[in-house]
Amino acid sequence: MNEYILVAIVENKPGVLYRISNMFRRRNFNIESIVVGASEIKDLARMTITVKGDESTIEQIVKQLKKLIDVIKVSKLDINKSIIRELALIKVHTSDSKAKSDVINYANIFRGRIVDVSEDSMTIEITGSSDKIDAFIELMRVYGIKELARTGAVAMSRNFKSFKIEE
C-alpha cells in the first residue's frame, strides 16, 4: 500500500471534521493523519489528510469527499511535486550532563530546537519529513522518551501549481 496526501478546502464551521471522518469510518478507510487549519480564504479551512491504499481506493475516497456538502475542493497531491512537513515535540530523559550534551548535539545535527529544559529532561522541537522525524525519534529512544507529540503531515504543491479556489 502506498501513502497518499489529500488536500481539501472545506467550510470552517462546527461538524465538518466529524462528517469527513465519519465518511472515512463508514467506508472502512483509515486516516493515517489529519491536520486542519485556517486557509487564505475567510471562512474556509484547509485539511491535509494522509491515507494509505491503492490508487483505486484513493480515487474512491476523493469521489466520496467531493460529494460532501461542506467540501469545496479536494485533490490528491503528487508527493514528488509537493512540500511536505511535519512537526514533533519530543521530551527526552536527560539525567546527566553527558546525556544533555548528546541530545543538544543530535538536535543541532537534525536542525531541531531545544524548547524546554528541566533538571531531568529536555524537550526538542523538530520539523521536516516524516523520515527525518522517525530517525530522530529512534536516536532519542536510547535516552528514554518521556512524551511525544506529532502533528501529521502538512503539505502544498510546489510553486508551479497552486491549490486555490477561484473567487
All structural domains of the chain, each given as residue ranges with its CATH number in brackets, are 2-76 (3.30.70.260), 83-154 (3.30.70.1150)
Q: What is the pLDDT of residue 161?
A: 56
Q: What tens digit of pLDDT does each residue of 122-151 get?
A: 999 999 999 999 999 999 999 999 999 999
Average pLDDT over residues 39-53: 93
At what angle are helices 55-67 and 16-26 packed, to 10 degrees? 140
Q: What is the pLDDT of residue 167?
A: 46
Q: How far apart are CA 31 and CA 41, in angstroms?
A: 25
Q: What tens digit of pLDDT does each residue of 64-123 get?
A: 999 999 999 999 998 888 999 999 999 999 999 999 999 999 999 999 999 999 999 999
Tell me the whole-structure pTM to 2 decimals: 0.84
